[in-house]
Structure 1
Amino acid sequence: MRFQPVRYSLLAVAGLALLTACPAEKPAETATASQPGATKAVPTPAFNADSAYAYTARQVAFGPRVPNKPAHVACGNYLVAKLKSFGLSVREQPFQAMTFDGTQISGRNIVAQYQPTAARRVAIFAHWDTRPFADADKVHKNAPMDGASDGASAVAVALEIARSLSQRADSLAPNVGVDIILFDAEDWGYEADTQTDKKNQLPEGSDSWCLGSQYWAKHLLPAGYKAEYGILLDMVGAKNGRFTREGTSLQNARSVVDKIWNTAAKIGYSDYFLFTDTGAILDDHVYTNQAGVPTVDIYDHPPYGSDYFPAYHHATTDNMSIIDRKTMKAVGQTVLQVLYQE
């Protein structure tokens, strides 16, 4: 099979083909989550897709979140303030990085912890920056892009999960602490297929993508960070979103893949979470796995045809017009259910 990715390089995987307003009311409850060995069984809160949609729109309203730009700084400040408003312990991790085109950028990873003293931990990862150019756009090549699904929707789902957790009494908390880790500068990478007019100025062997997660993996925050597993959210807000079982996820966190996809099927979201295994992509989970956190990547993958990413990927069409509350509900409710069945 021939894959045609437009954003990431494919990685070899052993045994696989290579491939602001939000509601203030307390969320409703869904079915009780329990698992053998758990110390308690508590009802899982309902994921509020309206709230997640509003968080997506709020990020997009800042404008393209490109490092070194005022909109990027403003959105980062908003995310930090919003996570603090939920009562989470929040730390910022500033860093400097060089992009493939020789631009020196100032980045900022954001780490927020729910129940920071809990021994057992699960990480939810996402990236909050946008790509500086819509190089895959057939009409407006290299124009600024909103990154509504690619970035904002994933952060929005993470924010809504954090809000939901913050409204729970301690007696109704899940059995794990939850870390929301938002990476910066994920999307300023070199794509040979669409950027033939540019040159990658980074040293041979360097990865021009995922600059924030690369930095975090080398400078763990919190220091010595450990989690039982991680869930990377990326492009989880578009209408008719579909999520396949990605190669690096299967290689490094097969049991977590099974847990997520089986949970989705159990609560009625198998139309979104497909039991289809697909090749590996280069995304932030490559580096979180290297850092010792077995991580699964949930990202929108076209279920048919040879395209590896949706048509809106790195195009100006990635705007609020494609965002669907149903897709965010499927992802957010599944992740919440996974957390509460620990």
Structure 2
Amino acid sequence: LAAHWDTRPFADKDENPAAKFDGANDGASGVAVLLEIARALQAGQPPAVGVDIIFFDGEDWGHDTETWEKIGKGKPANFPLPPGLDSWWCLGSQHWSKNKHKPNYSAYYGILLDMVGAKNSHFFKEGVSMQYAPAVTNKIWKTASQLGYSSLFVNREVAGITDDHKYVNEIGKIPMVDIVHYHPALGFFGDYHHRTKDNLELISPETLEAVGRVLLAVIYSEE
């Protein structure tokens, strides 16, 4: 299980692009669910399979020329990528996928949480997840439907996005699914994305609970 715990260091989609913001959904929500998952696993019956939890750093540091000029940092060319990295996005997962914490580490599969706490969220079957881990993706969405969360976990495939799971799949060779709030019809992650309105007022306890219950059900279904 994974999430990124960093928050983008500037609200570059805001009127004041250099402003800081809380990142209550984009960063903190996935971390919050996984911390509660850890507490539940510790307090309850041990599952039949081992569960590892990893929090990636540097997921939201990505930039382009427009972003960096807006915040007064110059152009990205002035900040070349360090050796061994393919993108300024998802820095932690890129590094971990190439330098795992244990030699020869692997897992049956992974589940990534990103922006999983907003009101009126919808989670679609994201393209990279369906490319590398279709069986796991379908299992998660089927479980959500059985628990009564089909309006939240929408049974529809959408285009892939760049997120931490991309590098865990491609480099780490672990099939990983991304549960992420993304609106395919509008082509964006929500009007709070990388803006100062990404704060606690955005968060729905019901959404967080639903995601947590689905994950626990999936974990305990494994034999």
CA–CA distance in structure 2, aligned partners of residues 234 and 339 of structure 1: 18
Secondary structure of the structure 1 residue equivalent to 2:133 = helix
CA–CA distance in structure 1, aligned partners of residues 174 and 43 of structure 2: 27
CA–CA distance in structure 2, aligned partners of residues 247 and 176 of structure 1: 27
How big is the shift at 1:221? 1.0
Show the counterpart of 1:132. Answer: 9
CA–CA distance in structure 2, aligned partners of residues 288 and 265 of structure 1: 27
| Contact 1:134/1:316 (8 A) holds in 2 | yes
Tell me if 1:331 matches 2:211. Answer: yes
Tell me if 1:202 matches 2:80. Answer: yes
Show the counterpart of 2:17. Answer: 141
How big is the shift at 1:302? 2.2
How big is the shift at 1:136? 1.0
Tell me if 1:307 matches 2:182. Answer: no
- Larger helix share, 1 or 2: 2
Show the counterpart of 1:173. Answer: 46
Secondary structure of the structure 2 residue equivalent to 1:177 = coil
Show the counterpart of 2:62. Answer: 189
CA–CA distance in structure 2, aligned partners of residues 193 and 125 of structure 1: 30
Show the counterpart of 2:122. Answer: 242
CA–CA distance in structure 2, aligned partners of residues 317 and 191 of structure 1: 22
CA–CA distance in structure 2, aligned partners of residues 285 and 193 of structure 1: 26
Secondary structure of the structure 2 residue equivalent to 1:298 = strand
Secondary structure of the structure 2 residue equivalent to 1:178 = coil
How big is the shift at 1:308? 2.1
Are the structure 2 counterparts of residues 253 and 195 from structure 1 closer, same or farther at C-alpha, using a change threshold of 3 Å?
A: same
Q: Which of 209, 213, 221 is residue 93 of structure 2 equivalent to?
A: 213
Unmatched 5+ residue regions in structure 1?
A: 1-123
| Contact 1:132/1:144 (8 A) holds in 2 | yes
Q: Which of 122, 136, 150 is residue 26 of structure 2 equivalent to?
A: 150
Tell me if 1:277 matches 2:157. Answer: yes
How big is the shift at 1:140? 2.5
Q: Which amino acid aligns with 1:296?
A: V
CA–CA distance in structure 2, aligned partners of residues 307 and 213 of structure 1: 24
Q: Which of 157, 163, 176 is residue 39 of structure 2 equivalent to?
A: 163
Secondary structure of the structure 1 residue equivalent to 2:101 = coil
How big is the shift at 1:193? 5.4
Higher-Rg structure is 1
Q: Spell out, residue by residue over 1:41-68, the C-alpha distance to the aligned partner (whole angstroms, 9 max, x if none).
A: xxxxxxxxxxxxxxxxxxxxxxxxxxxx
Q: Spell out, residue by residue over 1:151-200, the C-alpha distance to the aligned partner (whole angstroms, 9 max, x if none).
A: 101000000000000012xxx32111100100111111114554454422
CA RMSD between the two structures: 1.6
| Contact 1:245/1:275 (8 A) holds in 2 | yes
Secondary structure of the structure 1 residue equivalent to 2:27 = helix
Show the counterpart of 2:140. Answer: 260
Q: Which amino acid aligns with 2:111?
A: I
Tell me if 1:230 matches 2:103. Answer: no
| Contact 1:202/1:208 (8 A) holds in 2 | no
Unmatched 5+ residue regions in structure 2?
A: none
- Larger strand share, 1 or 2: 1
Show the counterpart of 1:119. Answer: none
Following superposition of structure 1 onto structure 2, how do residues 83-162 of structure 1 map, counting pairs within 5 Å?
124-137=1-14, 139-162=15-38
CA–CA distance in structure 2, aligned partners of residues 279 and 193 of structure 1: 24
CA–CA distance in structure 1, aligned partners of residues 69 and 155 of structure 2: 36
Q: Which of 157, 174, 189 is residue 293 of structure 1 equivalent to?
A: 174
Q: Which amino acid aligns with 2:19?
A: A
What TM-score does the superposition give when structure 1 sets the normalisation length?
A: 0.60
CA–CA distance in structure 1, aligned partners of residues 34 and 56 of structure 2: 12
How big is the shift at 1:306? 2.2
CA–CA distance in structure 1, aligned partners of residues 2 and 125 of structure 2: 17
Q: Spell out, residue by residue over 1:218-250, the C-alpha distance to the aligned partner (whole angstroms, 9 max, x if none).
A: 110122211000000000011111101111000
What TM-score does the superposition give when structure 2 sets the normalisation length?
A: 0.91
Show the counterpart of 1:35. Answer: none
Secondary structure of the structure 2 residue equivalent to 1:148 = coil
